[in-house]
Amino acid sequence: METTLRGVGVSHGVAIGEVRHMGTAVLEPPARQITADEAAREQGRARQAVSAVAADLVARGQLAGGEAQHVLEAQAMIAEDPELMADVDRRIAVGSTAERGVYDAFAAYRDLLAGAGEYMAGRVADLDDVRNRIVARLLGVPMPGVPDSDEPYVLIARDLAPADTALLDPALVLGFVTEEGGPTSHSAILARALGVPAIVALPGAGEIAEGTMIAVDGSTGDLFVDPSPQKRAELEAAAAERKAALAASSGPGATSDGHKVPLLANVGGPADVPAAVEAGAEGVGLFRTEFLFLDDSRKAPSEEKQIESYRKVLEAFPQGRVVVRVLDAGADKPLDFLTPGDEPNPALGVRGLRSLLDHPDVLRTQLTALAKAAEGLPVYLEVMAPMVADRIDAKAFADACREAGLKAKFGAMVEIPSAALRARSILQEVEFLSLGTNDLAQYAFAADRQVGAVSRLQDPWQPALLDLIAMSADAAKAEGKSCGVCGEAASDPLLACVLTGLGVTSLSMGAASIPYVRATLAKYTLAQCERAAAAARAADSAEEARVAAQAVLSGE
């Protein structure tokens, strides 16, 4: 009998196939005591296992490339964290085996994250995955992971670590569903990059029996168990219609009546550029430069290394617009040389622009590198600061840009509600705004963007979030300046129409989403988008807002 479950759709498309479940998690190792004479040997075993796992993660990243590579290299850094290894050594010295020492050290670090207000809870899946890989290696058992299968299937898991998601084979894994996670988790972002239909935050998905036929709609978040032939036909027809629309869509982003909405790509470095160019991106709306800095958390990359990386991206978009976000460190992206290690709640502490203003030499080097990288190129370079709270922040950033001799537009990200509320004030110092909807939702609703239990409040359709977006867009229009969106909200084709109706002037997203957004925007006039935006803002919940906007655009 057909039943329907609802999670959070995070990657477009339809997948129909049999269920395969992720392998069982590594069991807790026994608490066996060792003698003092065995300690040195066990410490050596632990270090060898850690080094092997870190090397494997780096190798997986190199195979995957793009943003996945940055994520996996960050995981490798977790594995070799000096403080974690020192804790492992201490535990072995007082009688733990290598595997038990690793298990307990990671458990203590896990508790530390929870005690820090759970902002970093979204990295618990990454932490658990690293621990499991090390413990499995020490125990000599296979690492749980994506199941072996000769036939295509839909994967169901409690959560997916980036190391698993990055190397999924789209020819075999038709789509995936997780019980935990959120729309901005690493797995969701990587799923969009792979073009694999995916649903996250669907409690109870793990109870679906192995081999059950299911249909996954990554656009709506609906999962159909034992779908009827009629339902399968409907979904397949809808998927075919989407595919035809994508094939027919090309050129710059615009509504059906010609209102231009530039469609830009989010990139983490040169490796992400080919996909953006292939998707027809009109430029880059978010160049996440922190991935370059995460290669070594102990020191900033040299000016020469930065120039080389930046220039490769700038050269890919001659006559195009490239918006660079300066280093956004802190919270879930700590850097030893930059961010404090003892903050009670890193999400509300010294992160983003605050870190850079505390270390002006790091900011100056990055801005100088950007200025040199753009020399002689016809690209339209724009540089923006993360985590701008008020006009004082905006002025400090603009002054730093001018002092570095940067010939570019200076902008501010709107990720803190105060920036949306005082957008006109901020625009007295900078030339554009860019809405980071992921963090803006997190701070507006006090809802950690990585915790599946509060994913309802992370839904970008929340009317209160749409209000903050509208306030920012209205302020930019009043000042004759631009206001784009570079958060994951822009990757939802229907929401892209609503954002356009709210007055947003450009949309930036993962490259895989650009064709979907382009094709959907081209179906509606600006007036229809404005009416859909008004209907969404008048709703009382995210689901009501989505339904209301859809009703307007479908003419109901």
Distance between CA atoms of residues 431 and 418, nearest Å = 18
Question: Hey, is 145 helix, strand or coil?
Answer: coil
Catalytic annotation, pick one of 12, 70, 186, 359: 186
Half-sphere exposure at residue 546, Cβ-oriented, CA atoms within 13 angstroms? 16
Tens digit of pLDDT for each residue in 247-258?
777 889 999 999
| φ and ψ of 21, to 5 deg | -100, 150
Close Cβ partners of 214 (under 8 Å, ≥ 6 residues apart): 16, 17, 18, 19, 154, 177, 208, 223, 224, 225, 226, 227
Among 282, 351, 317, 331, CA closest to 509:
282
Q: How far apart are CA 422 and CA 512, in angstroms?
A: 34
Phi, psi of 333 (to 5 degrees): -130, 65
d(CA 349, CA 352): 9
Instruction: Specify the pLDDT at position 161.
Output: 73
pLDDT number for residue 332 = 60
Q: Which residue has the tokens 């930019």?
A: 476
Residue count of the chain, please give it: 556
pLDDT at 262: 97
**CB 154 within 8 Å of CB 148:** no
With 0-12 / 13-18 / 19 or more C-beta atoms within 10 angstroms meaning exposed / middle / buried, residue 89 is middle
Question: For this structure, is 401 an active site residue?
Answer: no
Bridge partners (DSSP) listed for residue 410:
383
- Residue 168, sorted as left (phi over 0), alpha (psi -120 to 50) or beta, turns out to be beta
The Cα 199–Cα 190 span in angstroms is: 12
Q: What is the pLDDT of residue 244?
A: 78
Q: For 435-463, what is each residue's pLDDT tens digit?
A: 999 899 999 999 876 666 777 888 899 99
In angstroms, rounded to a whole number, what is the distance separating the alpha carbons of residues 153 and 25? Answer: 20
486 carries an active-site annotation: yes
* Residue 4 β-bridge partners: 224
Residue 259, pLDDT score: 98
Q: Which of 333, 235, 233, 281 is nearest to 518 (CA)?
A: 281
Tokens of 543: 């689901």
Structure tokens at 452: 């599946």
Listed as ranges, residues in the chain with pLDDT below 70 are 1, 24-27, 64, 66-67, 112-125, 142-144, 166-167, 184-186, 295-297, 330-334, 341, 449-452
Distance CA(118)–CA(73), nearest Å, equals 23
Q: Can you read off the two tokens belonging to residue 507?
A: 């949309």
In degrees and rounded to multiples of 5, residue 213 shows phi and psi of -80, 125
Mapping DSSP to helix (H, G, I), strand (E, B) and coil, where does residue 53 land?
Answer: helix
Of the candidates 401, 483, 486, 529, the residue annotated as catalytic is 486
Could you report how far apart the first and last alpha carbons of the chain are, in Å?
A: 31
Give the residue from 503, 501, 521 showing the smallest Cα distance to 513: 521
The distance from CA 381 to its chain's CA centroid, rounded to whole angstroms, is 23
Sheet holding 173-178, edge to edge: 3-6, 222-225, 213-217, 14-21, 153-157, 173-178, 198-200, 8-11
Extract the tokens encoding 523: 């179906």
